[in-house]
Structure 1
Amino acid sequence: MAALAGAAVCVGVPGIAGCEREAADPAAPTAPGSPAHPAPPRPVARTLPGIGPAVLGRIPAAARQVLVVTGPAADTNEARVMLYQLEPDAGWIPVAGPWPARNGLRGWADDHNENDLRTPIGVFPLSDAGGLLPDPGTRLPYHQDEGFTASGAGHLGEPLDGAFDYVIAIDYNRVPGNSPLDETRPLGDGEGGGVWLHVDHGGPTNACIALNKAYMVALLRVLDASRHPVVVMGPEAALRA
């Protein structure tokens, strides 16, 4: 800081090396927010809307991004998606959504099994992404592969073309760090697997969460592996536990 002739311009400026505070009258009143009367701390939101203490306690301490997928009831296949990010001074803040989504044809399952047409309830990391199309700019590991080609028809007779243009693997019964196409099932084949976030094809899924393509691109661009993102998903009543 440059000095003006005859003046000590940094006198009383806290946090500046070499500056000294002028002597003050001990009897003089101090203003709110001063060292003698610090301003009250801002409230920090440590909870997530609609998420109860039991489920909140299952979110890993390292997680700084939480994707909440909520269905209205255990047997419904339409849901809502919100993404929250943990900020040191503000707590959990919404950064994307709400977006409409689809889940398994028969709703949700506490104990998901292969071909039950239900989406598993729980808290799962989001470690890997991929798709038929090139990486749109995600900070997750991205695996582009022709194996992401979707064909045939969905449960309402809708074409599945393009459903796997972009996918994000949900770490349910899979090995993190591998392509979403990896079929290794640590819990056994009977527990199901291949549960993804993917592009909406206009109908309910087998067990995945499906989002509009533009929302999938937006989600891929904001998710960041360094923030250890997780998905918390299930019907409202289960997530309030």
Structure 2
Amino acid sequence: MAVAVSVTAVALALLGAGYVATDHYGTASTDNRDAAGHSATGAARVAAGSSPSSDPMPSTIPGLGPRTRARIPADSRQVLVASGRAKNSSDSLVTLWSRLSDGHWRPGATWSAHNAKDGWTTDHHAGDLHSPIGVFTLHDAGGFDADPGTKLPYDHSSSFHAGGVGFDGETLDEAFDYVIAIDYNRVPGTSPLDGTQPLGASKGGGIWVHVDHGGPTHGCVSIAAAHMVTLLRTLLPADHPVIVMGDGQSLAA
């Protein structure tokens, strides 16, 4: 979506929230596999903050098909996977994968998340209420709250305060306490507040990872505040982090 003239308008266009899940999507299961290739019991372990150490480290990130994997830069050693429940769903799961020295991938915890209200699209436009599908680099962060200890460039500014309410009437006051700019239609190396859109205003912009607030987003990916702090402290510019985002079926292509 197009970045609005005022920061408040930008804020209202980008917000969302996480949800609580007992397994990958709150469904009863013994050991069913989800789109990311994890079992429901494994998801419960990682949701509690621990990696499924009993499973061997995979040579490729589960749930990502050859076309998606080919878009990940060869030098990326941190891949944040935001896998949506369905093409038209705002429910997602987020996992940070780290590439080991032997080329295998180690998963971090899996966190519940939200994406845009109407799901996902490969042709994002301003105001379409969809999150863009793709692989995007992560360079810049910021927020209303002070830098929690990230290695990413961090813009601490009161301009990140949103205000207002979301789709479900929830307050947006803390949604931009921490944000990470997703490099969709923006200039990397600038503040997340920079409204420059190289692809033009019609292609939208201002797509962030940010703090959840209890409802779906206009285009962003949102996770709990504590998870945002963990993510900010974990991402390393030297590891060339990217986000791979989309519904599970699209990512499996």
TM-score bin (small chain): 0.7 to 0.9
Counterpart-to-counterpart distance in 1, 2:72 and 2:145: 31
- TM-score of the pair, normalised by structure 1: 0.81
Aligned counterpart, 1:218: 230
Shift of 1:143: 0.8
Aligned counterpart, 1:121: 133
What is the aligned counterpart of 2:58 among 45, 48, 53? 45
Alignment of 1:5-154 (within 5 A): 45-89=58-102, 91-94=104-107, 96-154=108-166
Post-superposition Cα deviations, 1:33-85, rounded to whole Å, max 9, x if no partner, equal xxxxxxxxxx9733101000110010001101000000111000010000000
- Higher relative contact order (CA closer than 8 Å, sequence separation 6+): 2
Counterpart-to-counterpart distance in 2, 1:89 and 1:195: 33
Letter in 2 for 1:216: M
More helix by share: 2
Q: Structure 1 residue 205 and structure 2 residue 198: aligned? A: no
Q: Which runs of 5+ in 1 are unaligned?
A: 1-42
Q: Following TM superposition, where does structure 1 have runs of at least 4 consecutive aligned residues deviating by more than 2 angstroms?
A: 43-46
SS of equivalent residue, structure 1 residue 238: helix
Letter in 1 for 2:120: W
Aligned counterpart, 2:195: 183
Shift of 1:97: 1.9
- TM-score of the pair, normalised by structure 2: 0.77
Counterpart-to-counterpart distance in 1, 2:109 and 2:223: 11
- What RMSD, in angstroms, separates the aligned Cα atoms of the two structures? 1.1
Counterpart-to-counterpart distance in 2, 1:51 and 1:229: 16
Q: 1:120 to 1:135 in 2, by over 3 A?
A: same
Post-superposition Cα deviations, 1:181-204, rounded to whole Å, max 9, x if no partner, equal 000000000000000000001000
Letter in 2 for 1:237: Q
Aligned counterpart, 2:186: 174
Post-superposition Cα deviations, 1:127-146, rounded to whole Å, max 9, x if no partner, equal 00000111101111111111
Aligned counterpart, 1:240: 252
SS of equivalent residue, structure 2 residue 139: coil
Shift of 1:89: 2.2
Q: Structure 1 residue 159 and structure 2 residue 171: aligned? A: yes
| Aligned pairs, number | 198
Shift of 1:88: 1.1
Post-superposition Cα deviations, 1:160-182, rounded to whole Å, max 9, x if no partner, equal 00100000000000000000000
SS of equivalent residue, structure 1 residue 128: strand
Percentage identity across paired residues of the two chains = 54
Which of 1 and 2 has greater Rg? 1
Q: Which runs of 5+ in 2 are unaligned?
A: 1-55
